Amino acid sequence: MAYSAHHCVPKGGYVLTGRINRIIVIGALVVGGLVGGTAVATAITAYSSTSGLTFYSCLAGGLLTHVQTRTEACAKGTTLVSWNQTGSPGIGATTSPVAAGAHCANGGVSVTGANGTNYVCNGTNGTNGTNGSPGAAGSTVNSCTSPPGPNLNFSECQLSNSVWTYVELQNSLMVGVDMEDAFLSSADLAGTNLTNATLTGTYFVNADLAGASLANATAHSDFAGANFSGADLSGIYAASANFNGANLTNANLTGADMSGVAFTGTIWSNTTCPDGTISSTYVPQTCVGHGI
């Protein structure tokens, strides 16, 4: 059944004819829905565009009449009804921390609102991750007077004439260290950074320098029997040094100055020669004559 808007009421309302399918009353009677008919929707929308307005009308036999924004007595046999565009304010929620217990095994937060109290619980702790690998030596010197040991920092220290035979110095930071005439025979210097070090007269007989860096170091030293497997000797100044019996497997000698160096019994295996060529390309393997 269609609805239609009739003549204007002198006091500011509409007369609406048609039938209401249902009326919902909550506290004051609220019209919850008008089913079928666009004219009623148009008339009510004209009023409801302003938030907070209360509408009044007279109801009789399923018909609404005198829809207006102010209340007046309805005729005998009709009922005054009203509704509002804006509903009542909702109840605000409150939150509180919850200790571990019956509601939340690992604690959490309770949320209390109009529908009661609910709980937001913490999850269980995850498993610990694996330990990371050790970091590089720090940028500051632990102490130049510290006893030798692995993973220490002796950069720029004056350690000439030190007697550190058989010591463990692996992965230490010794950039720019002065170890002139020091004794490091059979020492473990694997992975140690000796870049720009002064190693004149230093005794490295049978020392392990695998993976160490002696880049740009000054090393007129005795490296007889030393292990340089995988070491970086690029740019090293080792003129007249002794490399007799040294192991230079996979070592990098690019740009090294090794003039006058003794190489009797030296092990060459996939060594990068001072001129950038690889020792394995020569038979027998050697870097002598290739930048040396």
Angle CA 216–219–225, to nearest 5 = 120
pLDDT 10s digits, 258-270: 999 999 999 999 9
pLDDT number for residue 51: 53
Give Cβ neighbours of residue 89 (< 8 Å, ≥ 6 apart): none
Tell me which residue has tokens 């209390």: 112
What is the biggest distance separating any 2 CA atoms in the chain, rounded to whole angstroms? Answer: 129
CA–CA dist 27, 10 (Å, integer): 29
The mean predicted confidence, pLDDT, of the chain is 81
Q: What is the arithmetic mean of pLDDT over 253-260?
A: 93
Of 116-120, 126-130, 218-222, 245-249, the range with the lowest mean pLDDT is 126-130
Tokens 């230490």 belong to 172
Residue 8 has pLDDT above 60, yes or no: no
In tens, the pLDDT along 101-131 reads: 999 999 999 999 888 899 999 998 888 888 7
Closest CA to 83 of 161, 42, 28: 28
Is residue 13 predicted with pLDDT exceeding 80? no
Which of 2-16, 167-181, 214-228 has the least mean pLDDT?
Answer: 2-16
CA pair distance 141, 286, nearest whole angstrom: 39
Enumerate residues 6+ apart whose C-beta is below 8 A from 189.
169, 170, 172, 207, 208, 209, 212
Name the residue ranges covered by the structural domains of the chain: 4-84, 147-292
Q: Domain 147-292 sits in which CATH superfamily? A: E3 ubiquitin-protein ligase SopA (2.160.20.80)
- Distance between CA atoms of 145 and 23, rounded to whole angstroms? 94
